[in-house]
């Protein structure tokens, strides 16, 4: 998909804001908004779910990339409740020591972020979700429980199957929730990934297809986990470039108008 124009809006405004989670809690969030003459007057929004290692620079860079595609983006700080004001790595360490982000809180935070986006005067009423790594699993979880219009799962493990016994984390697999998926799903995975392994990706696709869900899965050779992460050795330019083109096309279809 090399012929797609990936950058729609080069001018952006990014800032830290406070949003209200679905359970009423005030939490920090990173907001990125298209600016300039090229932006659409009425546009969709995207909730970006940061990965387990935290609300960090790399995840905010991903948010700016999504905003360049022409969407208002909000990244809820999932660890704000446990570690308000802490640096992203310290907050992630504290959250991990306490068992990770509870699924119920995650659903509330995404619901609150989606409501924030829909309340923007520029909103066209459409809101998508996207997540990477643990955020990929949480993107699917949110799409099963929150009113969303399009969901992207980038190499999320433990959608199928549970984390290892004694992992210390509270989250579990969410296979039984898949029949409740409320919007189309785009999944991007590396064939060399071990978590999730290709067999789990196949099973995800099979379950959603069997339940009549709209699902689009792309698998990349010579790519493992975290192939979108430009700041990590796992970065794979061929997979990331094609992945961004797939995301642009998917959101263009379900969020843009």
Partner 1 sequence: MCTYTTVTAPMSGSAKGPNGSWFHVTDATVYFDHPVHAMAEHTLNIDLWSSTPADPSRGPSARVALELTAASARELMAAIASALESVPEALKL
Which two tokens mark 107? 């659903």
Whichever of 115 and 235 has its CB closer to partner 1, that residue is: 235
Whichever of 83 and 151 has its CB closer to partner 1, that residue is: 83
Whichever of 24 and 233 has its CB closer to partner 1, that residue is: 233
Q: Would you tell me which residues interact with partner 1 (CB under 8 A)?
A: 51-54, 56, 82-83, 85-87, 89-91, 93-94, 96-97, 100, 133-134, 155, 157-158, 163-164, 166-169, 171, 193-195, 225-226, 232-234
Smallest separation, CB 201 to partner 1 (Å): 13
Q: Look at the block and give the residue holding tokens 């309340």.
A: 119
Smallest separation, CB 78 to partner 1 (Å): 13
Q: Which helix (H) or strand (E) holds 67?
A: helix 57-68
Smallest separation, CB 199 to partner 1 (Å): 15
Whichever of 115 and 195 has its CB closer to partner 1, that residue is: 195
Distance CA 124, CA 120 (A): 9
Q: Say if CB 188 and CB 156 are below 8 A apart.
A: no
Q: How far is CA 189 from the centre of its chain?
A: 14
Smallest separation, CB 68 to partner 1 (Å): 25
For residue 151, give the nearest of 105, 217, 199, 209 by alpha carbon.
Answer: 217
Distance CA 152, CA 131 (A): 7
Smallest separation, CB 174 to partner 1 (Å): 14
Whichever of 70 and 135 has its CB closer to partner 1, that residue is: 135
Q: Say if CB 243 and CB 188 are below 8 A apart.
A: yes
Distance CA 79, CA 138 (A): 14
């Amino acid at each position: 998909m090399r012929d797609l124009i990936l950058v729609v809006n080069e001018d952006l405004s990014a800032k830290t804001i406070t949003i209200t989670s679905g359970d009423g809690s005030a939490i920090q969030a990173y907001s990125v908004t298209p600016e300039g003459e090229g932006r659409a007057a009425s546009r969709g929004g995207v909730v970006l779910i940061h990965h387990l290692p935290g609300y960090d620079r790399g995840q905010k860079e991903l948010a700016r990339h999504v905003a360049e595609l022409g969407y208002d983006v909000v990244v809820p700080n999932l660890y704000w409740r446990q570690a308000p004001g802490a640096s992203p790595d310290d907050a992630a360490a504290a959250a991990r020591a306490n068992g990770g982000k509870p699924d119920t809180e995650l659903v509330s935070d995404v619901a609150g972020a989606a409501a924030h986006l829909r309340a923007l005067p520029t909103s066209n009423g459409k809101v998508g979700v996207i997540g990477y790594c643990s955020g990929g699993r949480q993107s699917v979880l949110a799409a099963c429980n929150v009113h969303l219009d399009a969901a992207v799962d980038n190499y999320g493990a433990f959608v199928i199957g549970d984390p290892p016994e004694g992992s210390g984390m509270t989250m579990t697999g969410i296979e039984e929730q898949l029949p409740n998926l409320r919007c189309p799903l785009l999944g991007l995975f590396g064939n060399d990934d071990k978590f999730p392994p290709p067999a789990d990706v196949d099973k995800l696709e099979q379950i959603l297809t069997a339940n009549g869900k709209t699902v689009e899965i792309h698998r990349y050779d010579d790519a493992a986990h975290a192939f979108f992460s430009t700041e990590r050795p796992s970065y794979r330019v061929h997979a990331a470039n094609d992945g961004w083109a797939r995301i642009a096309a998917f959101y263009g279809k379900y969020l843009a108008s």
